């Protein structure tokens, strides 16, 4: 069984002669691409990059444009995607995280300007609030057993309401006491993408090489079996919600420094939508038990380059949405196919 699989993979890697039928070759290519999902998304990202590089030249390569791509687009999607991948693997999703992005800077602002908190402590609480939101999401999902889709829809709305009522829909300047720390978080133009790359490597290791990662896969792959093996499945789910919330807070602070502003519109579904899209394009099936961190990162790169490059070549945002939608569907079909192939032992 594994013999055949290995042989067909080996063959498909080499250029195909005329002997095999086109359909056959195509199936093999699909299989290889499925197996090397991260590589596939990487190649797509690299191809897009090259395309815009050749087509647009210096307006694409200009430093300000590259910073927009990597730190403004890719980094926040990729960072939030880390949490979503862990959640999707264990069979859950967090729709609320985008509003943590919006709420965390406001909380910091209130604590400093209204309650005279020292800057660092306020930042600590801004990070903590994401963890708390994650714990609340975990409580309703795991303990009360409301599906996470509903739970996080609710907590997302609550956070949106909190942002809007407490801020009276008004933006606020960054408090002076935390301006200095900004350079570590994202004042330096490349800081967000450096954060994203470092966290991606870290989370990849956590997913593939630690008990937490293996148990996350187990919980998503076989919930009852994981419980029977003695894995504390609730703890895994709670933990992944809390990690996702924390990442939301981090992105919130990064966005604050990056835009040099605290604004109610920073909280939106957009972060979550792009992050989940990155995860799906990267090869994370929403079926539980499978997913890749590296894939999600390159998924975010694809989204980041497309969002930046298409306006450059004069493609409208509406068309971009259609392309994203198509990419999601194609990726999902590939994900489902891959899962089937795996189950039949052919990948």
Q: By the criterion CB under 8 A, which residues form the site for another protein?
A: 1-3, 205, 209-211, 214-215, 217-218, 220-222, 224-231, 289-290, 342-343, 345
To the nearest whole angstrom, how small is the minimum distance from the Cβ of residue 342 to another protein?
Answer: 6
**Secondary structure class of 262 (helix, strand, coil):** strand
Q: Which two tokens stand for residue 18?
A: 């005329």
User: What backbone torsions phi and psi does residue 239 show, to the nearest 5 degrees?
Assistant: -60, -45
Specify whether the CB–CB gap between 346 and 340 falls below 8 A: no
**Residue 15 class from Cβ within 10 Å (0-12 exposed, 13-18 middle, 19+ buried)?**
exposed
User: What backbone torsions phi and psi does residue 172 show, to the nearest 5 degrees?
Assistant: -140, 150
To the nearest whole angstrom, how small is the minimum distance from the Cβ of residue 36 to another protein?
Answer: 16
To the nearest whole angstrom, how small is the minimum distance from the Cβ of residue 37 to another protein?
Answer: 14
Nearer to another protein, 183 or 340 (CB): 340
To the nearest whole angstrom, how small is the minimum distance from the Cβ of residue 128 to another protein?
Answer: 23
Nearer to another protein, 153 or 214 (CB): 214
Give how far Cα 207 sits from Cα of 6, 19, 243, 255, Å. 25, 41, 13, 26
Nearer to another protein, 72 or 92 (CB): 92
Q: Closest by alpha carbon to 172, among 99, 265, 263, 102?
A: 263
Q: Which two tokens stand for residue 41?
A: 């998304």
Nearer to another protein, 101 or 293 (CB): 293
To the nearest whole angstrom, how small is the minimum distance from the Cβ of residue 343 to another protein?
Answer: 5
Q: Which two tokens stand for residue 243?
A: 């990690």
Nearer to another protein, 18 or 230 (CB): 230
To the nearest whole angstrom, how small is the minimum distance from the Cβ of residue 331 to another protein?
Answer: 19
Q: How far apart are CA 90 and CA 343, in angstroms?
A: 18
Nearer to another protein, 231 or 262 (CB): 231
Q: What angle do CA 170, 171, 173 make, to 5 degrees?
A: 140
* Paired strand residues for 172: 262
To the nearest whole angstrom, how small is the minimum distance from the Cβ of residue 210 to another protein?
Answer: 5
Q: How many CA atoms lie within 13 A of 130 on its CB side?
A: 30
To the nearest whole angstrom, how small is the minimum distance from the Cβ of residue 143 to another protein?
Answer: 18
Nearer to another protein, 220 or 252 (CB): 220
Nearer to another protein, 121 or 202 (CB): 202
Listed in sequence order, the DSSP H helices in the chain are 2-13, 22-35, 37-56, 58-61, 63-67, 75-89, 97-113, 119-138, 148-167, 182, 191-209, 211-221, 223-228, 233-259, 270-281, 293-312, 317-343
Q: How far apart are CA 26 and CA 17, in angstroms?
A: 13
Nearer to another protein, 180 or 225 (CB): 225
**Residue 212 class from Cβ within 10 Å (0-12 exposed, 13-18 middle, 19+ buried)?**
middle
Q: How far apart are CA 6 and CA 202, in angstroms?
A: 30
To the nearest whole angstrom, how small is the minimum distance from the Cβ of residue 201 to another protein?
Answer: 14
């Amino acid at each position: 069984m594994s013999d055949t699989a290995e042989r067909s993979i080996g063959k498909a890697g080499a250029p195909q002669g005329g002997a095999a039928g086109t359909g056959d070759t195509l199936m093999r290519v699909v299989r290889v691409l499925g197996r090397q999902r991260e590589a596939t998304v990487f190649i797509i990202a690299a191809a897009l990059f090259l395309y815009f590089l050749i087509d647009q030249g210096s307006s694409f390569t200009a430093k300000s444009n590259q910073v927009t791509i990597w730190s403004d687009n890719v980094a926040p999607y990729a960072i939030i995607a880390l949490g979503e991948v862990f959640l999707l693997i264990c069979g859950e999703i967090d729709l609320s995280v985008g509003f943590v992005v919006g709420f965390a800077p406001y909380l910091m602002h209130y604590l400093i300007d209204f309650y005279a908190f020292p800057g660092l402590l306020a930042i600590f609480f801004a990070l903590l609030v994401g963890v708390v939101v994650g714990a609340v999401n975990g409580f309703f999902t795991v303990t009360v057993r409301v599906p996470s889709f509903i739970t996080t829809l609710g907590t997302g709305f609550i956070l949106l309401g909190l942002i809007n009522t407490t801020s009276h829909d008004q933006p606020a300047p960054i408090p002076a006491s935390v301006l200095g720390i900004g350079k570590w978080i994202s004042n330096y133009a490349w800081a967000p993408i450096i954060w994203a790359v470092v966290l991606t490597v870290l989370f990849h290791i956590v997913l593939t090489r630690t008990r937490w990662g293996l148990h996350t896969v187990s919980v998503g792959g076989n919930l009852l079996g994981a419980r029977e093996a003695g894995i504390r499945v609730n703890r895994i789910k709670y933990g992944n919600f809390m990690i996702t919330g924390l990442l939301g807070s981090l992105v919130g602070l990064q966005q604050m420094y990056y835009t040099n502003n605290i604004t109610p519109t920073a909280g939106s579904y957009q972060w979550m939508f792009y992050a989940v899209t990155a995860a799906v394009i990267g090869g994370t099936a929403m079926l539980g038990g499978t997913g890749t961190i590296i894939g999600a990162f390159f998924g975010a790169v694809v989204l980041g380059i497309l969002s930046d490059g298409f306006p450059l070549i004069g493609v409208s945002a509406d068309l971009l949405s259609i392309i994203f939608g198509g990419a999601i569907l194609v990726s999902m079909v590939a994900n489902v196919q891959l899962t089937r192939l795996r189950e039949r032992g052919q990948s």
